């Protein structure tokens, strides 16, 4: 069955013999970010959605965590990036997160979507989505 990812716009067939997609969705964090004077020092609620693509041609050798990419690194990539020095732009934070997501060798591609939740009145949000391939 051909899997389509709305996050990356790619299908399994784009990768040859197989792939695994791991993800973290709807993670909320308060982050001191922004370029305007009224934003500095006032954390904003951000939503993080990330997806990582792992190229593989076979199933894990066993049912042990050591045979797969540990999902917990997704959360660590975000939290570690937030704890580093303050950035003003979502794109800077997104790039920092992508660098960490692409660290494990089996990972071939990563996507991060960051949304500012409380900027606009009503149901609209600002944000950015970035993808990077190894």
Domains of the chain by residue range = 12-133
Query: Quick one: pLDDT at residue 95?
Result: 98
The answer to whether the predicted template modeling score (pTM) of the entire model surpasses 0.95 is no
d(CA 61, CA 80): 30
Class of the CATH-defined domain 12-133:
alpha beta
What are the b/e assignments for 39-71, b being 16+ CB within 10 Å? eeeeeeebbbbbbbbbebeeeeeeeeeeebbee
pLDDT surpasses 80 at 7: no
- Over residues 69-97, mean pLDDT: 95
Predicted confidence band at 121 (pLDDT cuts at 50, 70, 90)? confident
Predicted confidence band at 57 (pLDDT cuts at 50, 70, 90)? low
């Amino acid at each position: 069955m051909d899997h389509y990812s709305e996050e990356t716009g790619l299908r399994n067939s784009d990768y040859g013999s197989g792939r695994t997609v791991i993800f973290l969705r709807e993670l909320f964090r308060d982050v001191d970010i922004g370029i305007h004077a009224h934003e500095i020092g006032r954390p904003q609620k951000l939503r993080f959605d990330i997806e990582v693509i792992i190229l593989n041609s076979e199933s894990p050798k066993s049912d042990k965590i050591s045979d797969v990419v540990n999902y917990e690194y997704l959360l660590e990539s975000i939290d570690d990036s937030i704890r580093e020095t303050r950035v003003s732009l979502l794109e800077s934070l997104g790039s920092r997160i992508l660098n960490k997501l692409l660290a494990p060798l089996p990972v071939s591609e990563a996507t991060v979507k960051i949304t500012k939740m409380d900027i606009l009145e009503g149901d609209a949000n600002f944000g950015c989505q970035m993808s990077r391939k190894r």
